[in-house]
Amino acid sequence: MNKEYILALDQGTTSSRAILFNQKGEIVTIAQKEFTQIYPKSGWVEHDAQEIWSTQLAVMTEAIAKEQLRLDAVRAIGITNQRETTIVWNKKTGKPIYNAIVWQDRRTAEYCKKIAEQGYEDIIQEKTGLLIDAYFSASKINWILNNVDGAKQLAEQGELAFGTVDSWLVYNLTNGEKHITDVSNASRTLLLNIHTLQWDKELLNIFEIPESMLPTVCSSSEIYGHTSEDIANVRVPIAGIAGDQQAALFGQLCTKKGMVKNTYGTGCFLLMNIGAKPVISKSKLVTTVAWKIGDEVNYALEGSVFIGGAVVQWLRDELGIIRNSSEVEKLATSVPNSNGVYLIPAFSGLGAPHWNSEARGTMVGLSRGANAAHIARASLESIAYQTYDILKAMENDSSSKIKELRVDGGVTQNGFLMQFQADILKTKVIRPAITETTAMGAAFLAGLAVGFWKDTSELQNLWKEDKVFETNQDNNYEVHLKEWKRATETAKFWANYEN
C-alpha cells in the first residue's frame, strides 16, 4: 500500500516553508526558504508578492523531492499564512500592482486615526471584533487604491483583486481559477462581519473599497480547488486554510471552549477558544474567527505581546551580557530572584491589554547590587508577566477560568521561563512533543476535509505532550505581580507625562 501524506504550506513573515506530515501527525520532512524584507521608509514594511509565490513553490517542490515522492502521494494541501498582509493584483494579468504591504507596516496609522475620529470605532469593533488599526488589511487596501496610479479606476471597473497571502497562494496554485479566502483570514481585514461571516457593505463604504475586489469567503476545511496542471502534473486538492495564529490554536487542539495557547516567538500571540458565539472584548483584546469546519464556527479572543523572545536578542545584541540566546537561562538562574528589578520591554509600545503606543522600555527597582544576572532574570520574567496580563483579561472577558496553557514557539525551550509562567498563573503549562503547531493546524484542517483523518477525536490521539510544568502552589507571587503592575503604570506615566 502506498503511503500518503498531507502537505502544509506555512507562509510566514520572513520565510516560506513546506512541511510533509504522515498519518500519525509526524513530520516527515521540512523545506524552508527566506525571502527579501523591503523597508522603503521608516515604519514601512513590504514584500515582493511574486517572491512569496516563487519561494513557496520552490519549498513545496523541495519537500516532496527530499523524500523521493511523487506529488500524487500528497492527499491534500493545507495553507497557513502571515495574516493581514495585503496584496492587490490585476485580474487580467495576474500580476500585483504594488508590493505586498506587510502586517507590521504603519504607514496608514494617521488614516486609521481619522477613521476613529469620525466616530466609527464602536460600530467597527461590534461588527469585526477588531480595533481600528494599521495592523489590519482594510487601510492598506485603501492606501494602494489611492497611491498607485490608475488603481482606483481599475478597482471601480472590477479589474483588481485583493487577497491576504492565503488567497494569493490559492490563486497561483490554481492558475487564477480560484479567488477565495477562509473565515479566519477574512476576519483580520476589518471588512468581515464576524456575526454573519459575510463582507459588510457599511465597512466597505467606510474604507472606500469596491466589493468586486474581495475573495469568496469559505470555511477553513473544505476542498476549495485543485493544483493546476501548469503548476504540477497532478491535481492535488487544496483543502485547509487558516491564518497562522488560528492554525496554531487548532494545531494545539484547543478545540473546546476555554482552551488557550500561547506562541512564544519574537512576540507572543495568545488565543483563547471562546466557542460558537463571539464575545466583544471590554479589555482591549480582539475577537477573531478561529475556524469554521462544516457548519460549526469557533471564535477566539486574541492578545499580542510585542516583545517576547526579542528581549533576549536585546540582551545579546544591544547590552552584550550574553553571547548567544541559549546562555540566558543559565545567567538568569544564577541568582535566586531579580533583586527587585522589573523590566517593561515596551521598545515599540505596549500591546494588549494596555495599547499604549507611546510607552517605551522602562527598568525600575535598580539598586547598587543589581547586576547582569538580575537584568537577565527580569527580562525573562517580563515575558511571563505580559502573558499573565493578557490571560487575566481573557478570563475577565470570557468569564471562564483558564485550566491549562498550551505553549509553542522557540522560547518554550527555556525551562525556567515555562516554570515561572506556571507558577504566576497558578495553572499548568504544557509543551507539546511537536512544536510546529502552525503547520500542523493547517495539515489537520486539510486532512479532515479529505477524510485523511476522521474527526477531531482522532486528532486528539495524535497530539502528545513533551513536558508539563506543574505550578508550585506554595510560591506566593502576589507581591511580585503587584510590583509588576506598578512598574507597568510607571512606564505608562512616563509616556503620558507632559511637563
Q: For strands 404-408 and 260-264, give the pairing.
A: parallel
* Residue 123 cell numbers, joined: 460600530
The answer to whether position 222 is within a domain reads: yes
What's the confidence (pLDDT) of residue 351? 80
438 marked as part of a ligand binding site: no
The answer to whether position 241 is within a domain reads: no
Number of domains within the chain = 2
Cα(103)–Cα(97) distance, integer angstroms: 18
266 marked as part of a ligand binding site: yes
Q: Is residue 166 located within the same domain as residue 213?
A: yes
Residue 426's SS3 state is coil
What's the confidence (pLDDT) of residue 473? 66
What's the confidence (pLDDT) of residue 2? 59
What's the confidence (pLDDT) of residue 498? 66
The answer to whether position 244 is within a domain reads: no
Residues 270/262, Cβ–Cβ less than 8 Å: yes
Residue 195's SS3 state is coil
Q: Is residue 160 located within the same domain as residue 285?
A: no
414 marked as part of a ligand binding site: yes
Residue 215's SS3 state is coil
Q: Is residue 322 located within the same domain as residue 370?
A: yes
What's the confidence (pLDDT) of residue 1? 42
15 marked as part of a ligand binding site: yes
Cα(219)–Cα(446) distance, integer angstroms: 11
Residues 273/290, Cβ–Cβ less than 8 Å: yes
54 marked as part of a ligand binding site: no
What's the confidence (pLDDT) of residue 476? 72
Alpha-helical regions (H) of 289-367: 310-314, 328-332
Kindly report, residue by residue over 82-136, the tens digit of the pLDDT.
999 999 999 999 999 999 999 888 889 889 989 999 999 999 999 999 988 888 9
pTM (predicted TM-score): 0.89
Q: Is residue 171 located within the same domain as residue 25?
A: yes
The answer to whether position 175 is within a domain reads: yes
Q: Is residue 259 located within the same domain as residue 404?
A: yes
Q: Is residue 179 located within the same domain as residue 308?
A: no
The answer to whether position 246 is within a domain reads: no
Q: Is residue 86 located within the same domain as residue 196?
A: yes
Query: CA quadruple 174, 176, 178, 179: dihedral positive or negative?
Result: positive
Cα(296)–Cα(274) distance, integer angstroms: 13
Q: What is the CATH number of the domain that holds 146?
A: 3.30.420.40
313 marked as part of a ligand binding site: yes
Q: Is residue 327 located within the same domain as residue 219?
A: no
Which residue matches cell numbers 527579501? 36
Q: Is residue 220 located within the same domain as residue 272?
A: no
Domain that holds residue 476: 255-498
174 marked as part of a ligand binding site: no
Which residue matches cell numbers 502537505? 7
Q: Which residue, among 197, 200, 89, 90, has the nearest Cα to 138 in the 3D structure?
A: 200
The answer to whether position 240 is within a domain reads: no
Q: Is residue 473 located within the same domain as residue 350?
A: yes
What's the confidence (pLDDT) of residue 67? 79
Cα(203)–Cα(209) distance, integer angstroms: 9
379 marked as part of a ligand binding site: no
Q: Count the residues in the chain.
A: 499
The answer to whether position 249 is within a domain reads: no
Q: How many CA atoms lie within 13 A of 332 on its CB side?
A: 21
* Residue 86 cell numbers, joined: 495585503
Q: Is residue 357 located within the same domain as residue 490?
A: yes
Q: Is residue 124 located within the same domain as residue 152?
A: yes
Cα(354)–Cα(359) distance, integer angstroms: 10
Which positions of the chain have pLDDT values less than 70?
1-2, 473-475, 498-499
Cα(323)–Cα(330) distance, integer angstroms: 12
147 marked as part of a ligand binding site: no
Query: CA quadruple 431, 35, 187, 42: dihedral positive or negative?
Result: positive
The answer to whether position 317 is within a domain reads: yes
Q: Which of 185, 207, 235 is the last residue of a domain?
A: 235
Cα(60)–Cα(55) distance, integer angstroms: 9
